[in-house]
Structure 1
Amino acid sequence: MESAHTPYQEVQPHWFFCRRADDNTSWLPFSREDSDKLENAFTNSKNDTVVAVEGQRYDVHVKERKRYAVYWEQAPSEVRRCTWFYKGDKDTRFMPYPEDFSKDLEEAYRKSVTSDEWKKKLDFPTGETVILHNPKNLFKL
């Protein structure tokens, strides 16, 4: 009897911005509408596109991955195209992995899904280790 492979579906990205206050860093999602605008600019543009977000109160420079306040002075904040997230022992919210790390993780996941080979231990140059147990369970060590 053949095993039924789970078909691979590439994860749909969502865009987030970083908010820093004191010693606290949190990543907040853009609205679905703003995230879709950012994704469209990312996939369909070759130059440094600027996208107005949050009721045109901020501009995101897509290539630069920065969000700038339009009407007041505020330090620019980092923006990420997010596909994979983690939750540390002390974290109360999920945090997005950096984009390059997410690309590597997505590729490893794609290979595992399409080959149906699991229980893979992935060691990354950052010192992090992720274990792909099955299509629904991935663990960060």
Structure 2
Amino acid sequence: MKVLHRGAVVLLTTLALLATVHGQVARAPAAGTTLLRVRVLLNQSNPALEMIVNHPVVPKVQKLANPSRWIITLPRVKMSVPDKDLATQNDRITAVHFEQQHNPVAVVATVQLGIPDNNFTLTVTGNVITVST
């Protein structure tokens, strides 16, 4: 019984430590999150903007009209340049502008839409964020 009791104590201690570490990791802000790569995927039937970061992030997407566009905010994310423009040769996604915000820290992407489109699909898979028409 003593060995079982000692083993149970070790097991419970290990589980408590793992729960504490897991809780801290889940709540820790992603202060060092960086936008690594951006691609505009035009070879699909529905054009998409793909953004890759080095840590998972929960983006916020707004739809705006006149002109029709999406505003995608990546909170607590930094990029290597203050701003960046991407021109496309597509009638659905005509241009993308990225801007680094400092207070609060965030990368904001403005996706200009050539055709008014209120529908979008947001997919977050690990460190890859995709917004498509």
Give the TM interval when normalised to the shorter protein: under 0.3
Higher relative contact order (CA 8 A, sep 6+): 2
TM-score by length of 1: 0.22
Rg comparison, structure with higher value? 2
TM-score by length of 2: 0.23
Which structure features the higher share of strand residues? 2
